[in-house]
Structures are given as structure tokens and as C-alpha cells.
């Protein structure tokens, strides 16, 4: 089950197919690529199990279990976000900073090669838990046939190149022209500044861009403030409710909240 609002995507396709549109822009997570019901803390624990194997296989055996590694990763992320310079009140972090801090807290060297291995684990894990949104893929395929550019814009700590590889593993080849991540800019959609940077990079006026995403602030309000035509495409309320229930159960079982 996709747990998406098909009516919202019909509205988005109407904007994409409008004569004024030159660029079809989409959010990635829970928009183009859909997550299941497993909440973020549970996914982090799954990744910690895989990353712990990498640490041991490379001779970095801190003598901890996956649950502790997950807790260290969450603390590292909190520390990095606390110390990021806010832009328009929004803090953006990078995976390299989070992983480097995690290794430091474990008493390990922040070796770039090791950080790259941990990043590779995250990317490969994400591929296993994300599936393409069939409705949106169809919209974007028709957009390409109508000579629209297709781009992705994400507020995410993973770099754009990693996101591009992730997207290309889950959607048809050649569907996406460009991928933009807040991690590469130091500011994101939620601040409104990433939209301006994307428009400058594309060399287009905001009114020729049709964007959609699940976050009402970042994907709709800030996009519209930048002059972009935006449609809110949230996951269904049932999906949101079930995800919250699973998150509460995970916290009760493990005593961990992300």
C-alpha cells in the first residue's frame, strides 16, 4: 500500500502539464521515494547493526553493541545540529560532520575513508527500505515526454551525489536531471534559501517551476514564497498515525527516541 494522496498528485500533474511549466521539481523522501511504516529510530538501529560490522571488519572494534552505536550516532547528530550556524533560523548538517563526531565520541579517528564506508552502508540500507512512488514516477515520465526538466530538492544531511545514486537505484534510468541537497549548500528548503540557489543554478524564473512535497512549510510555504508553484502531497493520515504508534512502541521497548 502506498499511503499517498492521489488527489494531491492529480493537482500536481495539472501544474506540471501547464504550458508555463519548464521544470518539474519534487521532494525525495516520502514524496518520490516512499518509506514504509518503520519509524526513523528503528531504521537507525538497523543501520547501526550494519555499521558495527564495518567497524569490526576494518579493525575498529569499540566493544559496543548496535543499540549503543545508535545512541552515539543520535547524540552526535544532536551535537552537530546544535553547533551549526543557523541560516534564517534553520540549522543544516552534513553526514560527514555527524559520522566524524560519532567516531570521535567512540574514541576512533575520523578517517575520511571510514566515514565514506559508513555513508555507503547508509545508502545501501536506504535502497532496501525505499520504494518508488508509482503515481509520481508516471507524472515525471510524462513530464519528460513533454520536454520538462525533472529535478529533486531535499533537506537532508546526505550529499547530493549520494542522493542522486539512491534515487537512480529506485526510479527509471534517465528520469531525473538534477538532485539538490541542503547538505551541499549549508541551507535548505525550510529556510527558503535553497529554492533561490536552485533557480539561480537552473537559470529560470520561479513561475516556470512546479514543485511538490510532503512538508507543508518547506515544500509549500517556502516554495511559494520564492515564487514557485507548489502542491502539498502528504502521506495519508493513517500512515502518519501508524508510524507514530510504531515509534512510541519502539521507544517503550528500547528507551530510545530520535
Q: Is the pLDDT of residue 26 over 70?
A: yes
Mean pLDDT, all residues of the chain: 93
The total of other beta-carbon atoms located within 10 Å of residue 74's CB is 19
pLDDT, residue 56, reads 93
pLDDT, residue 96, reads 93
Q: Is the pLDDT of residue 89 over 70?
A: no
Biggest CA–CA distance in the chain, Å, is 60
- Burial track 177-209 (b if 16+ CB lie within 10 A, e otherwise): ebbbbbbbbbbbbbbbbbbebbbeebeeebebb
pLDDT digit string, tens, across residues 49-77: 999 999 999 998 778 999 999 999 999 99
Whether the CB-CB separation of 223 and 195 falls below 8 Å is answered with yes
What are the backbone angles phi and psi of residue 209, rounded to the nearest 5°?
Answer: -105, 130
E-assigned strand segments in 38-161: 130-132, 149-154
C-alpha to C-alpha distance for 142 and 111, rounded to whole angstroms: 44
Q: Concatenated DSSP letters for 56-82? A: HHTT---S--HHHHHHHHHHHHHHHHH
pLDDT (mean) for 186-197? 95
For residue 82, name the pLDDT band (cuts at 50, 70, 90).
Answer: confident
- Backbone dihedral region of 189: left (phi > 0), alpha (psi from -120 to 50 degrees) or beta? alpha
For residue 176, name the pLDDT band (cuts at 50, 70, 90).
Answer: very high
Q: Is the pLDDT of residue 183 over 70?
A: yes
For residue 90, name the pLDDT band (cuts at 50, 70, 90).
Answer: low
Q: Quick one: what percent of the chain has pLDDT higher than 70?
A: 97
CATH of 6-35+132-235, one of 3.30.70.100, 3.40.50.1000, 3.40.50.720, 2.60.40.3880: 3.40.50.1000
pLDDT, residue 72, reads 94
pLDDT, residue 85, reads 73
Q: Between 81 and 192, where is the model more confident? A: 192
Q: Is the pLDDT of residue 258 over 60?
A: no
pLDDT digit string, tens, across residues 128-167: 999 999 999 999 999 999 999 999 999 999 999 999 999 9
For residue 87, name the pLDDT band (cuts at 50, 70, 90).
Answer: low
For residue 251, name the pLDDT band (cuts at 50, 70, 90).
Answer: confident
pLDDT, residue 86, reads 66
Q: Where are the domains of the chain?
A: 6-35+132-235, 40-128+242-254
Q: Between 254 and 78, where is the model more confident? A: 78
Q: Is the pLDDT of residue 88 over 70?
A: no
- Burial track 86-112 (b if 16+ CB lie within 10 A, e otherwise): ebeebbbbbbbbbbbbbbeebebeeee
Amino acid at each position: 500500500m502506498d499511503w499517498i494522496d492521489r488527489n494531491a498528485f492529480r493537482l500536481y500533474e495539472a501544474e506540471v502539464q501547464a504550458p508555463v511549466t519548464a521544470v518539474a521539481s519534487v521532494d525525495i523522501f516520502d514524496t518520490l521515494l516512499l518509506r514504509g511504516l518503520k519509524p526513523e529510530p528503528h531504521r537507525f538501529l538497523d543501520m547501526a547493526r550494519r555499521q558495527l560490522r564495518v567497524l569490526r571488519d576494518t579493525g575498529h572494534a569499540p566493544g559496543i553493541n548496535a543499540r549503543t552505536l545508535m545512541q552515539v550516532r543520535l547524540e552526535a547528530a544532536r551535537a552537530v545540529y546544535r553547533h551549526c550556524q543557523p541560516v534564517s533560523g534553520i540549522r543544516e548538517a552534513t553526514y560527514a560532520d555527524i559520522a566524524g563526531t560519532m567516531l570521535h565520541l567512540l574514541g576512533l579517528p575520523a578517517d575520511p575513508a571510514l566515514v565514506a564506508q559508513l555513508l555507503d552502508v547508509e545508502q545501501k540500507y536506504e535502497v532496501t527500505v525505499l520504494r518508488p512512488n508509482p503515481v509520481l514516477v508516471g507524472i515525471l515520465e510524462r513530464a519528460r515526454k513533454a520536454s520538462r526538466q525533472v529535478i529533486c530538492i531535499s533537506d537532508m544531511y546526505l550529499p547530493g551525489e549520494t542522493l542522486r545514486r539512491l534515487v537512480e537505484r529506485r526510479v527509471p534510468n534517465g528520469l531525473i536531471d538534477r538532485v539538490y541537497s541542503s547538505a551541499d549548500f549549508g541551507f535548505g528548503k525550510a529556510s527558503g534559501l535553497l529554492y533561490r540557489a536552485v533557480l539561480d543554478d537552473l537559470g529560470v524564473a520561479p513561475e516556470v517551476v512546479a514543485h511538490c512535497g510532503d512538508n507543508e512549510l518547506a515544500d509549500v510555504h517556502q516554495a511559494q514564497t520564492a515564487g514557485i508553484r507548489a502542491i502539498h502531497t502528504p502521506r495519508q493520515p493513517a500512515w502518519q498515525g501508524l508510524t507514530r504508534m510504531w515509534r512510541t512502541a519502539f521507544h517503550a521497548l528500547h528507551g530510545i527516541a530520535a
